[in-house]
Amino acid sequence: MTNPQANGVEPTRITKLRKRGSTLWLFGLPASGKTTLASKVVRESESYVLLDGDEVRQTVGNFNMDHAARLMHLSYMAFCCRQLNDCGINVAAAFVTPLEAHRTRIREILGDVQFIWLQCAPETCAARDPKGLWQQAAGGKLPQLTGAGGAWENPMACELTIRTDAMSVEQAFAALQERFDLKDGR
């Protein structure tokens, strides 16, 4: 098979036929509500798919959380979001994304990404702890858990900050709807 561009033929891309999709990138400490809120966006908004960090890691078997591995993982996920956006698909991405270097790299790959920081006190995250991660960190089994020994940097800039320890899921979703004009898909 030959490369059409090498022959001077410009390939027809789906992006010429459809409006480009967008990505809402929800990030924050483990148990801050990323998956819960992103899932609500998918259920109750028009035309969103979910990319969730826990699901992706379970599927591909990537549990290495050092800086280089996390940067690579997040870069792959940003690339996936870009490909979906190019096909006109909106993405609700839910990833811890702890360092500013990670968020900078995601912006480089995606360009037009909407970062939503789900700000939540570590104590509240530890009290929620739906997967038992904070308990494992307290017991020394996960010493690098983000926010409980692992590095975390508050964002220098994001499109929206939601205090998930100070409001309900419904209130947080309403803030997203208002800020990003999400269409009701129910």
Q: Would residue 8 count as lying in a domain?
A: no
Q: Where are the beta strands (DSSP E) in the chain?
A: 23-27, 48-52, 90-94, 113-119, 160-163
Q: Would residue 184 count as lying in a domain?
A: no
pLDDT at position 186? 55
pLDDT at position 69? 83
pLDDT at position 185? 60
Q: Would residue 30 count as lying in a domain?
A: yes
Total number of residues shown for the chain: 186
**By residue range, what is the domain housing residue 91?**
19-179
Q: Would residue 5 count as lying in a domain?
A: no
Q: Would residue 139 count as lying in a domain?
A: yes
User: For the chain, how many structural domains are there in total?
Assistant: 1
pLDDT at position 39? 96
Q: Would residue 140 count as lying in a domain?
A: yes
Q: Would residue 185 count as lying in a domain?
A: no
**Mean pLDDT for each 10-residue chunk of the chain (186 residues)?**
44 58 96 96 92 78 73 93 94 96 96 96 92 89 86 94 96 94 71
Indicate yes or no: pTM above 0.75: yes
Please count the CA atoms within 13 angstroms of the CA of 57 that sit on its side-chain side. Answer: 15
pLDDT at position 3? 40
Amino acid identity of residue 63, one-letter, is: F
- CATH assignment at residue 170: 3.40.50.300
Q: Would residue 4 count as lying in a domain?
A: no
